[in-house]
Chains A and B, each alone.
Chain A
Amino acid sequence: EDQVTQSPEALRLQEGESSSLNCSYTVSGLRGLFWYRQDPGKGPEFLFTLYSAGEEKEKERLKATLTKKESFLHITAPKPEDSATYLCAVQSNRDDKIIFGKGTRLHILP
């Protein structure tokens, strides 16, 4: 069964304190792994798509990496405006369905 597990469930950091969010996945043939940011009461905002192990993508203070078993979202010198829930999702080769993890609630303290 395809599965996505994100850790930690919640994370509080001081402004400027870098850290990483983890997304572990089990899927029968990875078609793509997606990272989204979701603010309270809003729909998810697309961040990255990763397709193969070893791939990396960056956007401002965020960098996503991918291995055959997990993905990391690295946050460098975060700011309070980076506070949000970060969602990881995977899509398998078997069908088009995208399975989401429960997310990591990130809170950056000023």
Chain B
Amino acid sequence: GAVVSQHPSWVICKSGTSVKIECRSLDFQATTMFWYRQFPKQSLMLMATSNEGSKATYEQGVEKDKFLINHASLTLSTLTVTSAHPEDSSFYICSAQLGGNTDTQYFGPGTRLTVL
């Protein structure tokens, strides 16, 4: 149980284009989903917290107009990197919180974004 999927697993795009990454909780409903980015040999850095049906809460330093997050249902959150640039190249990982009495987050497999 508690499986989270991400799509695509990797994407290469040209500078200036937009890329959408999907995060789905497959066997549970997640009222809260999180988006992280991870640079090589670095820790996961929280970008934003996404609650179903409401606006995402962004961490300090994360541009909300650049990283658009939509949490349209209890099983789906999307992250759109708008007008991507090479410095946006990174490993993007989502997680979903099971809710209830546990705060444990279950992570997706990640999406490797390379912007040329």
Contacts and interface: CB of A to CB of B under 8 A. Distances in A.
Interface of A: 31-32, 34, 36, 41-46, 49, 87, 91, 96-98, 100-103, 105
Interface in B92-111: 93, 95, 102-110
B108 A43 contact: yes
A38 B108 CA distance: 11
Contacts of B34: 98
A105 B108 CA distance: 20
B7 interface: no
B46 A97 contact: yes
20 contacts: A36-B107, A41-B91, A42-B110, A43-B4, A43-B6, A43-B93, A43-B95, A43-B107, A43-B108, A43-B109, A46-B106, A49-B102, A49-B103, A49-B104, A96-B49, A96-B103, A97-B46, A98-B34, A101-B43, A102-B42
A98 B43 contact: no
| Majority DSSP secondary structure for residues of B touching A | strand
B72 interface: no
B87 to A, nearest CB: 20
Interface in B27-49: 32, 34, 41-44, 46, 49
A72 B18 CA distance: 42
Given A43-B6, A43-B93, A43-B110, A100 B43 contact: yes
Contacts, number: 52
A101 B41 CA distance: 11
Contacts of A45: 107
Interface residues of B, number: 24
Contacts of A98: 34, 46, 103, 105
Nearest to B102: A49
Interface string B59-92: 0000000000000000000000000000000010
